[in-house]
């Protein structure tokens, strides 16, 4: 069953539960319980989220790949591929939006993150921030009140989780400080592997510090479900350690629909020049 916003604990709840602890370092922003109520960090299969939009870690072709891209295309069905074919690809550091088709999410935002070591640290950070910013703008432009990000570029594209999380969280924090961000009710950082979740738990207090540290252990009246309980109830949370997960699909080939199978979503393993520039040559 797909998880709705009600199933996904907010950062405020994670602080209260002590799942996330305040940082020893000085936060870069002032505490805001209103903002902490609009942020979530979960470890979950993003294809199982019934939110307004999910953000795919796509490649420049937008025609599918491995990792989260493959999982999203499989769950959305062939119509997603057909719509992606009409988009004419996407620049690195930007994003494009499609419908969600058979996914529980209404929209899919396809963001093309940087390949870390090809870009170098500074360029990569700018491009990654561009992905997050453009995705947030697209969500607002398309009346999506909730958006769940996969951990862009931290898979095959090799972006270190700690660095990537800092860029992601800061970009979201800046966006939520803008006026039009009122149109967003919830921004969810949806990790799949423990290394990414750990990075988010460590770094999120720098940008979204706890608003009521003194109240952290006091149960609010009417709180019937503890956050940790909510986290454990999320469907299909990964149970394997990252190192053991062969199935996270970091492919050396790309899945492509054949020309003569327009009506059926038949995929074949096929070397692709666009992909060779990105994922396949780096595994
Ligand atoms: P990239 O090429 O941008 O690195 P990947 O798909 O390899 O893209 O990885 C991006 C992130 O998506 C990684 O953190 C990976 O663990 C995560 N991921 C893989 N499958 C899923 C999934 N089903 N749901 C959410 N995140 C996923």
Here the CATH number for the domain that contains residue 34 is 3.40.220.10
d(CA 101, CA 88): 19
Residues 69, 7, 227, 210: is their CA dihedral positive or negative?
positive
Tell me the pTM. 0.82
Could you tell me if residue 42 is inside a domain? yes
In a domain, 283, yes or no: no
Q: Does residue 208's CB lie within 6 angstroms of at least one atom of ligand 1?
A: no
Q: From atom 10 of ligand 1, which residue's Cα is the shortest distance away? A: 155
Which residues span the domain enclosing 48? 5-278
Ligand 1 test: best mutation among 48, 54, 192, most atoms within 8 Å of CB?
192
pLDDT at 97: 98
For residue 179, the model assigns a pLDDT of: 85
In a domain, 262, yes or no: yes
Low-confidence stretches of the chain (pLDDT < 50) are: 214-224, 239-283
**Residue 183 falls within a domain, yes or no?**
yes
Length of the chain as a residue count: 283
- Contact present, 64 and 85 (Cβ < 8 Å): no
Q: Tell whether 58 is covered by a domain.
A: yes
78 occurs within a structural domain: yes
Nearest C-alpha neighbor of 6 from the set 233, 190, 159, 254: 233
Residues 6+ apart with CB under 8 A from 71: 45, 46, 47, 249
Q: What six digits make up the tokens of 264?
A: 């059926």
The pLDDT, as a whole number, for residue 64 is: 86
**Number of domains making up the chain:** 1
103 lines ligand 1 (CB under 6 A): no
Q: State whether the beta carbon of 164 lies less than 6 angstroms from ligand 1.
A: no
What pLDDT digit, counting tens, does each position of 65-84 carry? Answer: 899 999 999 999 999 999 99
Q: What's the 26 CA to ligand 1 centre distance in angstroms?
A: 30
Report which ligand 1 atom has the smallest distance to the Cα of 279.
2
Residue with tokens 């295309």: 73
Summarize pLDDT for 223-240 with one digit per residue, the tens.
Answer: 445 566 666 666 555 544
Q: In this structure, how many other beta carbons lie within 10 angstroms of the beta carbon of residue 151?
A: 26
Residue 56 lies in a domain: yes
- Token pair of 187 as six digits: 């921004």
Q: How many CA atoms lie within 13 A of 255 on its CB side?
A: 20
| Ligand 1 touching residue 157 (CB < 6 A) | yes
Phi, psi of 66 (to 5 degrees): -100, -160
Q: Is 55 in the pocket of ligand 1 (CB under 6 A)?
A: no
Residue 27 tokens, joined: 């936060």
Tokens of 204: 């999120």
| Ligand 1 center from residue 57 Cα (angstroms) | 7
Looking at the domain assignment, is residue 180 inside a domain? yes
Contact 119, 127 (CB under 8 A): yes
For residue 56, the CA-to-ligand 1 centroid distance in Å is: 8
Query: Which one, of 57, 269, 240, 46, lies nearest residue 155 by Cα?
Result: 57
Is residue 121 classed exposed, middle or buried when 0-12, 13-18 and 19+ CB atoms within 10 A define those classes?
exposed
The β-bridge relationship of strands 95-99 and 53-58 is: unpaired
């Amino acid at each position: 069953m797909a998880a709705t916003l009600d199933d996904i604990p907010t950062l405020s709840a994670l602080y209260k539960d002590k799942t996330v602890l305040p940082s020893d370092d000085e936060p870069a922003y002032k505490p805001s319980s209103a903002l902490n109520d609009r942020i979530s960090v979960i470890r979950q299969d993003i294809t199982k989220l019934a939110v307004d939009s999910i953000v795919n870690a796509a490649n420049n072709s937008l025609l599918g790949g491995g990792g989260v891209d493959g999982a999203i295309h499989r769950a959305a069905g062939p119509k997603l591929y057909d719509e992606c074919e009409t988009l004419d690809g996407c620049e690195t550091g930007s994003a494009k939006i499609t419908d969600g088709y058979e996914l529980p999410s209404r929209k899919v935002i396809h963001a093309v993150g940087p390949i870390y070591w090809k870009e170098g640290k500074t360029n990569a950070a700018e491009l990654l921030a561009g992905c997050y910013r453009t995705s947030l703008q697209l969500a607002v432009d398309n009346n999506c009140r909730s958006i769940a990000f996969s951990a862009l570029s931290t898979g095959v594209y090799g972006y270190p989780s700690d660095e990537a999380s800092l860029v992601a969280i800061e970009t979201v924090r800046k966006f939520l400080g803008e006026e039009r961000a009122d149109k967003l009710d919830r921004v969810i950082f949806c990790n799949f592997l423990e290394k990414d979740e750990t990075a988010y738990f460590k770094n999120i207090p720098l940008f979204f510090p706890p608003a009521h540290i003194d109240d952290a252990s006091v149960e609010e009246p009417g709180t019937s479900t503890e956050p940790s309980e909510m986290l454990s109830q999320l469907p299909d949370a990964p149970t394997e350690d990252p190192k053991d997960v062969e199935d996270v699909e970091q492919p050396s080939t790309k899945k492509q629909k054949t020309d003569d199978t327009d009506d059926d979503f038949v995929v074949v393993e096929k070397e692709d020049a666009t992909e060779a520039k990105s994922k396949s040559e780096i595994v």
